[in-house]
Amino acid sequence: METSAAHPQPAAAPSARGTLPALIPRPHLLERLGGTTGPVLIAAPPGYGKTTLLRQWSGTLRPQPVWVVPRDGGTVWPAIMAGLQAARVVPEGNAGALQPPGGLDDALAFLTRKLTGSRIRLVFDAVEGFRAAERESWFRALLNRDPVPFQVIVATRDSTAIDATDARLAFRLLDLRAEDLAFSAAETSALAALAVPGAGQRTVRQIHSDCGGWPACTALALGYLQGDRSPARPAVEDRSGTIAAYLDRTVLPALTLTEIRVIAAACICGTSEPAQAAALCGVPDAGTILGRLATQGLIQRRGQQAFVLRPVLRQHLLQMLWRADPAGLRRLHRRASSWHSTAGSAAACLRHAAASGEGPHLAAVLAHHGADLVHSGESDAVLAALSLLGDAEVTSDGRLSLIASLAHSVQLEPTAASRYLQAADLAWRSAMPRESEALRELVQARSTLFSSGWSRPFPGSGVRPAALSAAALPGIRIEATLANAVALLGSGRYSAAQESAAKALSEAAAVHNGYLAGRSLFDQAIGAQLQGNNRRAAGLLRDARARSPARVRQPGPRHAAVSLVYAGQALLRLEPVSAHNLAVDAAGNLDALEPTPAGLGAAMRSAAALLEAGALFDLGEVQRGLDGLLAARLMLDPEAPFAGALSAWTALIEHSAALSHGYPRRAGEVLDWAQRPLGGTAELCLLRAAAADSAGRAESAAHHLRQLREESLPALLAWTAVEVPLLECLTALRNGQRARAVGHLSLALRKAVDLDVLRPLAGAGPEVRSLLMERVGGHGPEAAAVRTVLQQRTPENISALTPRELEILTLLPSHLSLRQVAEDLQLSVNTVKTHVRILYSKLGVTNRHDAVEAAFRHGHVA
């Protein structure tokens, strides 16, 4: 039998800082201990507070438990008698009691006679200090014997050294393990509040994650912060070495050399399987050893066949390996890379290949797995690995150049993608290998999305069908289908784009590729959002996030596309603060894209500018908003991708903003500009009707509204179906047709709620808002949407008040009733009530108190 790496010694307190866990009460554990009268086995590695917990528990007991600890020689009976004598249960100097003549059975009989009726508890602490043979016989008898007239509590580092099978099967045993004794996040925070009151929550969360709730390591990490409050460092970066020293002196010496060898190899991988560990360390029964250490609580079991080292222990072992044998550590990474490649885990294979420092091996891994990894959402890892090889080596290899180009194109970095595509063509001056043709075709096709040729039907503009059919990797075919969907979206062919994206989704699901499945759902969400259907877009986005791996949600141009979709939703939902922040975030993440006058990048920039300006306008920054809307309109090329939908968004938002603030000339400029991109659409007809209504040309407005009703003009935006009945409601109110106005308003509400688009309602003007307020409580299922609209303080509602409205507003802070206000102003009470309703609408409030508050806030009342 193999000996230990060092003879295990009872753990000493790791300094005054190590006593910190005693400051944290653990009522849930004390309650479990107090709720049993049967045997108790507490098994956990060093530093889990076994003794501390028992001391806390014993302080609540009467009479006090008898503590039994190993003595010289490591035999159990003298230790029991010493404990009983110290507790004065047995008189000192009782030689007969110290030497029972009949062995274990007589000793137990003696204890039974002596302790019956005394409510004595025997607490055996640090039992690993007893001889193995004594431990095996004594504790099997003490824990499993039934009945026993006294309670037995055993604390040990190694649960496998204690046989409590009978008691466990009879459900008489309270079994507490490392996972029971580990600190919860709340307990770590409580300890941090006592030890380092100034520690930030982020630092405390990091310490809890690194230590995995290991009480001693948590206390040492917090103790380190006591002496150095400035850095927010993880526990594994403990510069003072206290945690490392604790692990070296207390934890690792209790392990055999083979056990250390196994976990040192296992620490290379975050999660280790038995076959993997055996391959790395050369120990055939590595899985058995890992299972035993998991039972002891030193490492954690992940499922049935995998094991995870606690982060603080893993980091310590990695540092040990690096200091002792850096070449050996690299060899372990090389073995791990090969093992993961055989096991089909390409991402782990690449990670270990990069860590091995072996350039040829890393290049071979990238050539073999690189494209598949990009199609699985690992483009960041692929680009990082390529950078380790160096640009000269990448550009001299056609396959690596193609993979670099693909990774950059997926990251929406067209300049770099184009450079590496050219390098691949140069590297393959002769015939390109057949297996690389489809990859090159895909990269070439994706590059057209960022040029003026983006709009040609795909795959005719890029991947040839023959090349696609020859592609060995399904990811290439799915990516090509997604590129087709994007091109169709940019052309405004939404039905065809949805079919293409749905096909990609089906193929991605068939090969269990969550990343490409998420991409296909996101492309469908873009189509829904471009059309202004918030509800459908939100559902698709939820599905996309559920399918996509969390790791791929990285900053960058692709993240900008996500931000733009969410910004559009927020703007239409009357959430201007969120819309503004998301649009700014998108613009910032587009820095990696060159400012080309055509292509996908230009469309994304104009969308970001439009949404930011619209949000500023809604936030009350009218002039900045209008200036931004003009800039966004001038940025938009009618021939650019997504030009139709973006032109409709731009025209409707800017035209409404200009009219609401009395800028008819500006509104006319928008209408003139819209003739080309919106010709023959419902949106252009709507703009003409709104312009005519604003200018008082009732017949012309009615004519255009009839066109909208009768001619079935194609609509680019789903929320045009909200704008049209709102305009009809307004014209009906102005013509005194109240019942007809109510009907149109009800239709607009239903459409707005169906689409989750409320912005048109907020900008419909004070007359429509007054009608909404009059009918508060009578809107049925749309009541919540109405409340949201009426609470919104849009710029047109905070416009200048009429002299009469200001006169009434100055009297609202008084305690005068509306009848008294009417008498004071020599008006009828009904007239005053009408003015008050309009005031509420303009201020975006629903009661007198809020109206007064808004009046002071906007300077209407001094």
Residue 778 has pLDDT above 70, yes or no: no
Number of helices and strands in the chain (H, E):
46, 8
pLDDT at 144: 86
Q: In this structure, is residue 595 part of a structural domain?
A: yes
Detail the DSSP E strand segments found in 742-825.
Answer: none
What is the 8-class DSSP label of residue 626? H
Q: Of residues 215 and 842, which shows the higher confidence score?
A: 215
3-state helix, strand, coil in the chain (%, to 5): 65, 5, 30
Q: What's the pLDDT at 19? A: 54
* In a domain? residue 714: no
pLDDT at 509 over 90: yes
The predicted structure's pLDDT at residue 779: 55
User: Is 43 within the bounds of a domain?
Assistant: yes
Q: Are residues 214 and 124 in the same domain?
A: no
Angle between helices 783-791 and 766-774 (to 10 degrees): 130
Confidence of residue 466 (pLDDT cuts 50, 70, 90): very low
Query: Which residue has better confidence, 350 or 101?
Result: 350
788/499: higher pLDDT = 499
DSSP letter at 641 equals T
Give the separation between CA 769 and CA 762, rounded to whole angstroms: 8
**What pLDDT, on a 0 to 100 scale, did the predictor assign at position 620?**
83
Chosen domain end from 581, 613, 641: 641
157 and 281 housed in the same domain: no
Last residue of a domain, one of 157, 181, 205: 181
Query: Based on the domain organization, do 171 and 194 belong to the same domain?
Result: no
The tokens of 166 are what? 């009978």
DSSP result, 497-537: HHHHHHHHHHHHHHTT-HHHHHHHHHHHHHHHHHTT-HHHH
Residue 41, SS3?
strand
Question: 305 and 266, same structural domain?
Answer: yes
Most confident of 1-15, 346-360, 451-465: 346-360
pLDDT winner (highest mean) among 668-677, 795-804, 846-855: 668-677
pLDDT at 2: 40
Q: What is the dihedral of CA 311, 313, 318, 323, to 10 degrees?
A: 140
Decide which of 597 and 222 is more confident.
Answer: 222
**Which tops the pLDDT comparison, 53 or 194?**
53
Angle at 73 between CA 67 and CA 74, to 5 degrees: 45
Domain edge (last residue) among 181, 205, 226? 181
Distance CA 310, CA 214 (A): 9
Residue 860 confidence class, pLDDT cut points 50, 70, 90 = low
Mean pLDDT over all residues of the chain? 83
Q: How far apart are CA 607 and CA 650, in angstroms?
A: 9
Tell me the per-residue pLDDT of 133-146, one tens digit each, with 9 for 90 and over: 888 888 888 888 87
The CA–CA distances, whole Å, from 465 to 68, 438, 471, 472, 603 equal 80, 9, 10, 14, 28
Identify the CATH number of the domain in which residue 268 sits: 1.10.10
pLDDT at 742 over 80: yes
Element (H, E) at 485: helix 474-490
Mean pLDDT highest for which of 198-202, 269-273, 546-550? 269-273
pLDDT band at 858 (very low <50, low <70, confident <90, very high): low
Same domain as 294, residue 243: no
Residue 151 belongs to some domain of the structure: yes
> Is 671 part of a structural domain of the chain?
no
The rounded percent of the chain whose pLDDT value lies above 90 is: 35
| CA distances in angstroms from 649 to 588, 636, 751, listed in the order given | 22, 11, 18
Residues 33 and 157 in one domain: yes
In a domain, 651, yes or no: no
- Residues 250, 168: one domain? no
Domain membership of residue 191 (yes or no) is yes
Confidence tier at 556 by pLDDT (50, 70, 90): low
Q: Is the dihedral of CA 848, 853, 854, 856 positive or negative?
A: positive
pLDDT score of 811: 81
Q: Is the backbone peptide bond immediately before 465 cis, with ω within 30 degrees of 0?
A: no
Q: What is the CA radius of gyration of the chain?
A: 37
Question: What was the pLDDT predicted at 447?
Answer: 74
Q: What was the pLDDT predicted at 242? A: 81
CB contact at 8 A, 648 and 678: yes
Give the mean model confidence (pLDDT) for residues 452-456.
Answer: 44
Which residue in the block uniquely carries the two structure tokens 């043709």? 437
- Tell me whether residue 62 is in a domain: yes
Least confident stretch, 48-62, 305-319, 586-600, 626-640? 586-600
Residue 299 has pLDDT above 90, yes or no: no
Window from 51-55, 78-82, 462-466 with minimum mean pLDDT: 462-466
Residue 535 has pLDDT above 60, yes or no: yes
User: Are 207 and 151 in a shared domain?
Assistant: no
- CATH number, domain containing residue 823: 1.10.10.10
Mean pLDDT lowest among 273-277, 399-403, 627-631: 273-277
Q: What is the pLDDT of residues 617-658, one digit of tens each?
A: 988 888 889 999 999 999 888 777 888 999 999 999 999 999
Assess whether 85 and 213 both reside in one domain: no
What is the rounded distance in angstroms from the CA atom of residue 829 to the CA atom of residue 827? 6
Q: Which of 466-480, 525-539, 814-828 has the lowest mean pLDDT?
A: 466-480
Half-sphere exposure in the Cβ direction for 433 (13 Å, CA): 13
pLDDT band, very low/low/confident/very high, at 341 (cuts 50, 70, 90): very high
pLDDT in tens, 788-838: 787 765 444 445 566 777 788 878 877 788 888 888 887 778 778 877 877
Strands (E), 514-663: none
649-663, 713-727, 811-825, 846-860: least confident range:
846-860
> Are 241 and 312 contained in the same domain?
no
Under DSSP, is residue 176 helix (H, G, I), strand (E, B) or coil?
strand
Minimum mean pLDDT among 61-75, 313-327, 437-451, 742-756: which range?
437-451
We report the CATH number of the domain holding residue 34 as: 3.40.50.300
Q: What is the DSSP letter of 228?
A: -
The pLDDT assigned to 777 comes to 60
Percent of the chain with pLDDT over 70: 86
What's the pLDDT score for residue 570?
A: 94
Q: Verify that 70 and 145 share a domain, yes or no.
A: yes
Cα dist from 392 to 401, 424, 425, 602, whole Å: 10, 12, 15, 31
How many domains is the chain partitioned into structurally?
5
- Confidence label for 458 from pLDDT (cuts 50, 70 and 90): very low
pTM above 0.85, yes or no: no
- The domain of 85 spans 25-181
- Model confidence at 232, pLDDT cuts 50, 70, 90, reads very low
Q: How far apart are CA 368 and CA 364, in angstroms?
A: 6
Same domain for 29 and 173? yes
533-to-216, 490, 683, 717 alpha-carbon distances in Å: 55, 17, 15, 8
pLDDT at 798: 47
